[in-house]
């Protein structure tokens, strides 16, 4: 069992090979390549318009790349090119083995249905048909993301921004995905709520052995959560390495600028 785990961790979960995307004459992302291993957290940092979100959309199969490939190791151990998956397979992957945490919780949640149903939706989509079990699992997950279970029947409209974001995380993690994409998960939250959310994310990632691709412009988030960092500028990956190494000893002038622009605590 341990050996098998070792082998599994040895092979990358997600591999991107020279991904590029251009919109007409604008090259939004140029020649991005990397491998992501199980349990690894990769932060993609850079300023607005640097191609972070485009790259994330290509990785998660929402946007077709102009050139290059993304391949993913499925639960059966076979690595497949995302472009060759049928739409049904891709959508199935998206709601079982993957998660996607949007910056705006309204995009990732159903605002008109209760929190319990929001968490339970993925379970029902994979064929759970027992109300009691769905509800138990949902309330279990609400506890794990520190939402009072008394509010399980309230809609996310009545939730604060931080609670919505935590609910979105619970909704994504309920099917125990192996890979989660996050697009600025702490954007728009105040600092203390951010800190709590980051704390929660960090413990969940460790506990569930999640692989995460997190897009952020906040270097503090990258430092707290990620193992590795990719710095993007003008659609290119300009620097990549271990988080501490990149943030403490930046090599590229742009990264130096980025790091030095953080206000000292």
Partner 1 sequence: MNAPAYNFAYLDEQTKRMIRRAILKAIAIPGYQVPFASREMPMPYGWGTGGVQVTAAILGPQDVLKVIDQGSDDTTNAISIRKFFAKTAGVATTTATDEATVIQTRHRIPETSLHANQVLVYQVPIPEPLRFLEPRETETRRMHALAEYGLMHVKLYEDIARFGHIATAYAYPVKVNARYVMDPSPTPKFDNPKMDNCPALQLFGAGREKRIYAIPPYTQVVSLDFEDHPFEPYRFNAPCALCAAENSYLDEIVTDDKGGRMFVCSDTDYCEGRQAAGHHGSLSAAPYKEKAQEASNG
Nearer to partner 1, 9 or 175 (CB): 175
Instruction: Cite the beta strand spans of 98-155 per DSSP E.
Output: 98-101
Query: Could you tell me whether strands 179-183 and 211-216 are parallel, antiparallel, or unpaired per DSSP bridges?
Result: parallel
Nearer to partner 1, 64 or 125 (CB): 125
Exposed/middle/buried for 166, CB within 10 Å: 0-12, 13-18, 19+?
Answer: buried
48 in Cβ contact with 232 (< 8 Å): no
184 in Cβ contact with 204 (< 8 Å): no
Our finding on whether 192 is near partner 1 (CB under 8 A) is: no
Per-residue contact string for residues 96-115; x = within reach of partner 1 by CB under 8 A:
--------------x--xx-
Our finding on whether 134 is near partner 1 (CB under 8 A) is: yes
Nearer to partner 1, 135 or 196 (CB): 135
229 in Cβ contact with 240 (< 8 Å): yes
Nearer to partner 1, 121 or 218 (CB): 121
Q: How far is CA 70 from the centre of its chain?
A: 16
- As beta bridge partners, residue 230 has 44, 240
Our finding on whether 31 is near partner 1 (CB under 8 A) is: no
Nearer to partner 1, 104 or 154 (CB): 154
Contact pick of 152, 180, 213, 246 for partner 1 (by CB under 8 A) = 152
Nearer to partner 1, 85 or 238 (CB): 85
Nearest Cα to 73, choosing from 1, 125, 7, 29? 7
| Cα–Cα distance measured from residue 125 to residue 131, given in angstroms and rounded to the nearest whole number | 13
Q: Restricting to residues 114-133, which ones interact with partner 1 according to CB under 8 A?
A: 114, 116-117, 120-122, 124-126, 129-132
| Cα–Cα distance measured from residue 56 to residue 214, given in angstroms and rounded to the nearest whole number | 8
**Cβ 155 to partner 1 shortest distance, Å:** 10
**Cβ 88 to partner 1 shortest distance, Å:** 5
**Cβ 127 to partner 1 shortest distance, Å:** 8
Give the footprint of partner 1 on this chain (CB under 8 A).
87-88, 91, 110, 113-114, 116-117, 120-122, 124-126, 129-132, 134-135, 152-153
């Amino acid at each position: 069992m341990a050996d098998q785990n070792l082998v599994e961790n040895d092979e990358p979960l997600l591999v991107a090979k020279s991904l590029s995307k251009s919109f007409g004459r604008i090259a939004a992302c140029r020649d991005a390549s990397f491998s992501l291993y199980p349990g690894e957290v990769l932060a993609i940092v850079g300023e607005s318009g640097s191609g972070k979100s485009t790259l994330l959309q290509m990785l998660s199969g929402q946007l077709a790349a102009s050139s290059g490939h993304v391949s993913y190791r499925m639960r059966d151990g076979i690595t497949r090119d995302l472009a060759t998956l049928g739409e049904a397979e891709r959508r199935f992957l998206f709601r079982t083995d993957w998660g996607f945490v949007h910056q705006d919780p309204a995009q990732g949640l159903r605002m008109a249905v209760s929190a319990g149903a929001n968490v339970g939706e993925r379970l029902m989509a994979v064929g759970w048909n027992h109300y009691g079990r769905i509800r138990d699992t949902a309330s279990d997950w609400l506890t794990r993301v520190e939402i009072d279970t008394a509010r399980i029947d309230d809609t996310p409209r009545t939730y604060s921004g931080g609670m919505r974001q935590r609910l979105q995380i619970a909704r994504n993690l309920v099917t125990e995905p192996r890979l989660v994409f996050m697009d600025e998960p702490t954007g728009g939250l105040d600092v203390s709520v951010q800190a709590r959310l980051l704390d929660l994310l960090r413990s969940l990632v460790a506990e569930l052995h999640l692989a995460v691709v997190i897009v952020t412009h906040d270097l503090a988030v990258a430092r707290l959560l990620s193992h590795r960092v990719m710095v993007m500028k003008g659609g290119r990956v300009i620097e990549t390495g271990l988080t501490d190494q990149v943030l403490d000893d930046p090599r590229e002038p742009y990264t130096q600028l980025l790091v030095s622009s953080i206000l000292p605590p």
